Structure 1
Amino acid sequence: MFTGIVEKIGTVSALVKLDETETGGGGTSLTISDAAEILTDVHLGDSIAVNGTCLTVTEFTSDSFKVGVAPETLRRTNLGELTTGSPVNLERAVAGDIRFGGHFVQGHVDTVATILAKTPDGNALTVRFQPRDPEVLVYIVEKGYITLDGASLTITAVNDEEKWFEVMLVAYTQEKIIIPRKEVGQTVNLEVDMAGKYVEKQVKAQLEKGLAGMGLEKLVENIVKRTLKDMKIGV
């Protein structure tokens, strides 16, 4: 589990494509450098989110670490577009003693999204995206959470007909994540807020069982309670 608060921007220092006989089954091995700040407590097998993708540490030094990227992960994310020298957002898995500044992020990418436009607004930057899989737009709502390349961001606009959404990056955030460095036409990894998925599942379950005379207000109340219980949040 992650928070979507990027801890460090690292650099891809080595990228090796693996053949079918090597561990990774034809995937890719990535070495990420410039990561000393997040490796002070690292162990083999730990999870680190690289551009919002939960990956397992297989080797590490004081400044760098290595992860394997499976073929399925390459198909679902933008990690296959990385080259030597590419910057990447990094975040360690959540520890039990930290403040939770973002939102619940799994590090399981739903799809990639293409940058359609970047528009300055004072010292802020509005960025418009179009998801490769438009079906994820059902989980994307104005003022809701979204994770882009591992960064927890707030959605400022959604257009379901034209199939795009926007986020605004304040000056501080622009310095801490890699999205402002990307050009129009490049992609980001997208993970929707999992709360929306839980709500959808509960609604479908209730509808399949039939309302059985239950009022809409009571139905919504039950769905919310079950969703929070699934996410292990007390009510």
Structure 2
Amino acid sequence: MFTGIVETTGTLKNIHNDRNNFEVTVQVENHEIFLSDCQIGDSISCSGICLTVIEFDAKENWFKLGISVETLRRTTIEKMWTNAGDSINLERAMGSGNHRFGGHYVQGHVDTIAEIIAADEEGDSVNFKYKLRDLEYTKYIVEKGYLTVDGASLTVTFVDDNLGVFGVSMIKHTREVLAKRPIGSFVNIEVDLTGKMIAKQVELYMNKFTK
């Protein structure tokens, strides 16, 4: 479980892109204690994808991830994780301490991907527009609701159900924390789990009256 509050970024160090045995090594940037309590089998959100640590070195500040074929189908990994030196967003799993809970409940289970189609400056913020690959997920996106874009918890500013397009607005601080993505890039999208659960229950209930 995550919050969608990105802690730092990581650099793709080694990419073993055999589809049947896809492994990636990530070098953590600007966060010396990120792996201080890491254990084999821990979950780390990597640009919104909950992935399992299979090897790490806390002193050298790197960790290795194993990636399933299902994850490759759902996410941007095959499109965007192609070059050593590229950056991804990182967040450790939620702890049990007395920290304040920002963002929203995030599983790291990516639903679909979206293309960045616009980035318009407005004051100190930038308004981004995204187009979903799988339009059926539009029904779970609502104005002033939330979702994650590459692991970052963001508020939806508008949604066009017919086109599968939605927008978010990012302040300067958020943009500085996140890995940079130009227009035309693809990002991982996780919609609000609550909306999916409600939709499922309503569907099951209504089916009782249509049989």
Report which of the two structures shows the higher radius of gyration computed on alpha carbons.
1
Q: Residue 39 in 1 paired to residue 35 in 2?
A: yes
SS at match of 1:195: helix
Q: Residue 207 in 1 paired to residue 206 in 2?
A: yes
Query: In the aligned structure 1, how far is the partner of 2:198 from the partner of 2:101?
Result: 22
Query: In the aligned structure 1, how far is the partner of 2:194 from the partner of 2:12?
Result: 32
Q: Is the CA contact 2:114–2:133 (under 8 Å) kept in the aligned structure 1?
A: yes
Q: Residue 130 in 1 paired to residue 124 in 2?
A: no
* % same residue: 45
Query: In the aligned structure 2, how far is the partner of 1:107 from the partner of 1:162?
Result: 25
SS at match of 1:126: strand
User: C-alpha deviations, 1:141-200, integer Å up to 9, x for none?
Assistant: 00001111000000001111222000000111111112xx21111100000000001110
**1:5 CA displacement:** 0.6
Query: Which structure's residues are more often strand, by fraction?
Result: 2
User: C-alpha deviations, 1:75-127, integer Å up to 9, x for none?
Assistant: 21011221201100001111112321011111110010000101011110000
Query: In the aligned structure 1, how far is the partner of 2:160 from the partner of 2:15?
Result: 37
SS at match of 1:166: strand
Give the corresponding residue for 2:164.
163
Give the corresponding residue for 1:51.
47
Query: In the aligned structure 1, how far is the partner of 2:95 from the partner of 2:175?
Result: 25
Unmatched tracts of structure 1, length 5 or more: 19-24, 211-235
Structure 1 length as normaliser, TM-score? Answer: 0.83
Where does 1:19-30 land on structure 2 (aligned, <5 Å)? 26-30=20-24
Task: Give the AA of the match of 2:22.
Answer: T
SS at match of 2:66: strand
Q: Is the CA contact 2:28–2:34 (under 8 Å) kept in the aligned structure 1?
A: no
Structure 2 length as normaliser, TM-score? Answer: 0.92
Query: Which structure's residues are more often helix, by fraction?
Result: 1
Unmatched tracts of structure 2, length 5 or more: none
Give the corresponding residue for 1:78.
76
Larger CA deviation: 75-84 vs 130-139: 75-84
Q: Is the CA contact 1:15–1:29 (under 8 Å) kept in the aligned structure 2?
A: yes
Q: Is the CA contact 1:5–1:91 (under 8 Å) kept in the aligned structure 2?
A: yes
- Runs of 4+ in structure 1 displaced over 2 angstroms? 34-37
**1:37 CA displacement:** 3.1
Compare relative contact order (CA 8 Å, sep 6+) and give the higher one, 1 or 2: 2
Query: In the aligned structure 1, how far is the partner of 2:145 from the partner of 2:55?
Result: 37
> What count of residue pairs does the alignment treat as equivalent?
203
Q: Is the CA contact 1:114–1:185 (under 8 Å) kept in the aligned structure 2?
A: yes
The partner residue of 1:60 within 56, 61, 75 is 56
Give the corresponding residue for 2:196.
197
Q: Is the CA contact 1:27–1:74 (under 8 Å) kept in the aligned structure 2?
A: no
Larger CA deviation: 128-137 vs 199-208: 199-208
Give the corresponding residue for 1:69.
67
